[in-house]
Chains A and B, each alone.
Chain A
Amino acid sequence: MRRLGPLLVVTALVAGCSSTPTNSHTVVLVTHDSFSVDQGVLDAFKADTGITIDVRKTGDAGALTTQLVLTKAAPIGDAAFGVDNTFASRALQEGVFAEYQAKDSDKGPQNYAIDKRLTAVDVGDVCVNATQDVDAKTFEDLADPRFKDQLVVEDPSTSSPGLAFLLATIAHYGNQGWVNYWQRLKANGVKVDSGWEEAYSQDFAGSSGKGPRKLVVSYASSPSAEIGDDGKARTKALLDTCFRQVEYAGVLNGAKNPDDARKVVDFLISEKFQKLVPDAMYVYPTRDGVALPEQWQQAAPKPESPATVPADQIQGNRDRWIEQWRAAVRG
């Protein structure tokens, strides 16, 4: 053991160094940690194009954006995926992305376009989820005494769906009315958790945690995962309470391999990749004509008219809105 130790360390170091791919046709794709894709698809892409995609995951969308901004002078990759519309402005302002119009970006992604540098890859709608027995539909219902002590939401300062739901209420009630709405929610017994995990899997009655509350802020796609043995969905999304999160991809400024990076962005909105998006990442494809999986069609249809707030407004007001929210709900 004593003699083996140093040897193993040296071996480990050598192994560690040599495992870094040196292929010139490698694109480093920087993304967040919920990125998921079947290895077979990446292999097929390599067979077609000769490009190896080296996926580097880095925290949530916020952490990803922060990283991209901090490393803009010496980028850690060639392309990035996962900056969403709540963080896009920061990345754009700081000049993280290079201009690029992806091939096929006019086949659906253009509906979510905000800038010439970003290509919309998927949309995920944050909506209030409910158990099937709840007949709530609208924002107003959530503040109705019939649903007293039933709603659990996430803190917008620590949770991405929490922020999305706050933005949904701001979009719905406008700058004047939303604070009042939250005061009514508070009076109606809204519970605030720090993160999605505890809100959804512990406090929500419709999840495996069988918690006490029948309404939770989650995703429009969540009900597709809560289908019982009888084939029926146990939960539903309230499609009038949604906020649309759009996730973008782009080529990084200063990429070592920009030509191949562009092909990777093209790939992300290709039919092959788009049809995997729902099951792999619980989001909806942006490309038109890509069929949703069967469970989704049954339990998680894509919301038709979700709320949105322009990216630059989110960027400009996020701190203030969160402060106001804190004052209204916590104070």
Chain B
Amino acid sequence: MARGRPGLTGALVTAAVPLGFLAVFFVWPVLAIIRLGGGGGVAAVLSSSDTWRVVEFTVGQAAAATAVAVLTGLPVAFLLARTALRGHTLVRAVVMVPFVLPTVVVGLAFRSLLGGGALPIILANAFFNVAVVARTVAALWSHVDRRAEDAARSLGAGRARTFFSVTFPALRPAVFSSAAVVFLFCATSFGVVLLLGGGEYSTLETEIYLRTVQLFDLPGAAALSLLQVTSVIAVLVIGAVLRRRSTTLNLRVDTARRPRGGEWFVVAAAYAVVIALLVPIISLVAKSSFNGFKALAGTGFRGSLQITGWDAALNSVKAATYATLLALALGVVACVALVTLSRTRARPSLVESIDTALMLPLGVSAVTVGFGYLITLDKLPGDLRTSPMLVPLAQALVVTPLVIRTLLPVLRSIDSRLRQAAATLGASPWRVWREVDIPLASRSFIAATAFAYAVALGEFGATSFLARPDSATLPVVIGRLVSRPGELNNQMAYAACALLMLVTTAIVIAVDRLGTVGEF
């Protein structure tokens, strides 16, 4: 008989890849920058009431934005997963577009629509993240057996009761998974808080930036970073506890049908959300003009760009493709390791710790990580600090947790007996992955790919940090144009936004098509 733990060693070796990556490109830089600041600032920062006000606002606005994103994302998830209606691809694209838009233009759009203040900050943060909830939950929802709901309904449960007693528990892992991701994104949002807060509101992220860059108060920044890391870990642990008890689902493939009766209300709510998402998007497109597009075809107003807008679009697609492939590879390896570990009856706490560790980069200041790179990565061969490879590497850090959160709920919910059935039919462990897990998770994989692309396409920080003038991407170009005076520059900026939306939509549609041709 097989003794020991088959697969455990292999899983640990596999897990070493993403963990090693995390150690080199996250833990090391962050620890280095915190150490550089020294421990001196901790006491002063922690005892200041300002600090706690900042923490309160950071957590408060992120929690509120997460709640809004979940409440608006769920009807859209229902629409995508459960209804057979036309136009799903377009809906998927529309919810994804906000994800790639540069914060500065979204901030400006919300400012002109809603003015400044806490509520616009919350709404803008939710706006960016509806896609995370909608697509992660939809990926799982499309696999949940509808018969359990029908059974509950036949037992006399009302729609709401059915949802809360049958449907929601099944969706729980995906809902809490995506909520954790959204929370972290919102907690570290930077541009939106500055722009819409008008200096009245600050978050840990903006404070860390100000202390590091403007005041060069490294001890203070280090103390705040430490606080941020600690609170992120706390949030992640809570999230992990909430999404524990992932249920085994009776995985089905085709549960979409025409909505009936009261389902039309949910569908209407979903379309209302889509329309609400379209408002800022359309207001942005409206600001572009024919002149803007014409100028974008050249190198801009008085050569303010060094490349044409179309070149920038091409650069965006190219860079995003590399980053996506790298991030997907890493994310999938991480998922395989986590799933294999939990299947080998490794201690659940071990699996959860690895999972939580891989989520950390989402919640820690890009400033901390970025400056951490500067003082660590020169010690690696090839001095990665100024390499163009650092951009996809840094993005992979953010995309990997997204891939994990999208894929893992579905992979975990695959009945182990289905895999065992394949094994008894002669499928080796690798074949089982190929024949069972991968095809069943393919919808989630497509969602993960779309996210990875969106993150890479919309990425501004690391790209503007490292992009050469001739390899500028669309967000970089937009950032440049919007920070210059002149009507034409403005129109060009919005034309570039429209172009970015177009590229995103095209890629989301292409990824969708690719997936539907593949396995189903």
Contacts and interface: CB of A to CB of B under 8 A. Distances in A.
Pairing of A with B: yes
Given A157-B210, A157-B214, A198 B107 contact: yes
A195 B485 contact: no
Interface string A1-21: 110011011001100110110
Interface residues of B, number: 65
Interface stretch (B66-74, B380-388, B399-407, B501-509): B380-388
Contact of B194 (A36, A62, A194, A225): A194
Interface stretch (B17-25, B244-252, B462-470): B462-470
Nearest to B305: A36
A313 B435 CA distance: 69
A60 B479 CA distance: 12
A326 B423 CA distance: 68
A76 interface: yes
Contact of A198 (B108, B210, B491): B108
Interface stretch (A103-111, A139-147, A176-184, A201-209): A201-209
A39 B198 contact: no
B481 to A, nearest CB: 10
Interface string B198-209: 111000001000
What secondary structure prevails in chain A residues at the interface with B? mixed
Contacts of A34: 480, 483
B195 A207 contact: no
B33 to A, nearest CB: 8
B20 to A, nearest CB: 16
B409 to A, nearest CB: 22
What secondary structure prevails in chain B residues at the interface with A? helix
Nearest to B304: A36
Interface string A264-287: 000000000000000110100000
A312 to B, nearest CB: 15
Interface string A42-60: 0000000000001111111
B216 interface: yes
Contacts of B107: 198
Contacts of B378: 71, 74, 76
A90 interface: yes
A: contact size bracket: 35 or more
B386 A225 contact: no
Interface string A189-220: 00011111110111000011100000000110
A12 B215 contact: no
A200 B304 CA distance: 18
Contact of B480 (A8, A33, A194, A319): A33
A16 B384 CA distance: 11
A4 to B, nearest CB: 9
Interface in B125-174: none
B16 interface: no
B194 A9 contact: no
A37 interface: yes
B399 to A, nearest CB: 13
Contact of B479 (A33, A58, A69, A158): A33
Interface in B251-265: none
Given A9-B322, A13-B326, A39-B469, 17 more contacts: A6-B329, A12-B322, A16-B387, A16-B388, A17-B382, A57-B467, A58-B466, A71-B375, A71-B385, A74-B383, A76-B386, A193-B199, A195-B194, A225-B487, A279-B302, A280-B304, A319-B215
Interface of A: 1-2, 5-6, 8-9, 12-13, 16-17, 19-20, 28, 33-39, 54-60, 62-63, 65-67, 69-71, 74, 76-77, 90, 155, 157-158, 192-198, 200-202, 207-209, 218-219, 221-222, 225-226, 279-280, 282, 318-319, 330
19 contacts: A1-B514, A16-B387, A16-B389, A20-B388, A33-B480, A35-B469, A36-B306, A58-B466, A60-B213, A66-B213, A70-B36, A158-B194, A194-B194, A194-B197, A197-B482, A198-B108, A201-B490, A207-B485, A319-B215
